[in-house]
């Protein structure tokens, strides 16, 4: 399995799990995620926040990946 397939699979699982959580479960998950990422670097925080927002918005895997790319554009050479 290549990196892109692995990324797609991980994002698919994240989006599917989030979709099936109750409103209370989503709130708890979001609070736990916020606590987990608070000590990470800004780039990582932005990527996770973008992924979570994609889940909230019901985006597809490709839309979530695109949003994550926009949240943290690649470094310029």
pLDDT digits (tens, 9 = 90+) for 20-58: 999 999 999 999 999 999 999 999 999 999 999 999 999
Residue 71's pLDDT band (boundaries 50, 70, 90)? confident
Query: pLDDT at residue 62 above 70?
Result: yes
37 CB-side CA count, 13 A? 18
Q: 27: Cβ–Cβ under 8 A, 6 or more apart, which residues?
A: none
Handedness of CA 24, 27, 33, 36 (dihedral sign): negative
Residue 2's pLDDT band (boundaries 50, 70, 90)? confident
What's the gap between Cα 65 and its chain centre?
A: 8
Residue 3's pLDDT band (boundaries 50, 70, 90)? confident
Provide the pLDDT for residue 9. 93
For residues 34-62, b (16+ Cβ closer than 10 Å) or e, as one string?
Answer: eeebeeeeeeebbbbbbbbebbeeebebe
């Amino acid at each position: 399995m290549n990196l892109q397939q692995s990324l797609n699979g991980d994002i698919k699982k994240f989006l599917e799990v989030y979709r099936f959580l109750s409103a209370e479960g989503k709130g708890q998950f979001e609070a736990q995620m916020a606590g987990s990422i608070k000590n990470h670097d800004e780039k990582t925080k932005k990527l996770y926040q973008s992924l979570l927002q994609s889940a909230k918005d019901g985006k597809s895997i490709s839309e979530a990946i695109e949003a994550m790319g926009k949240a943290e554009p690649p470094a310029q050479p």
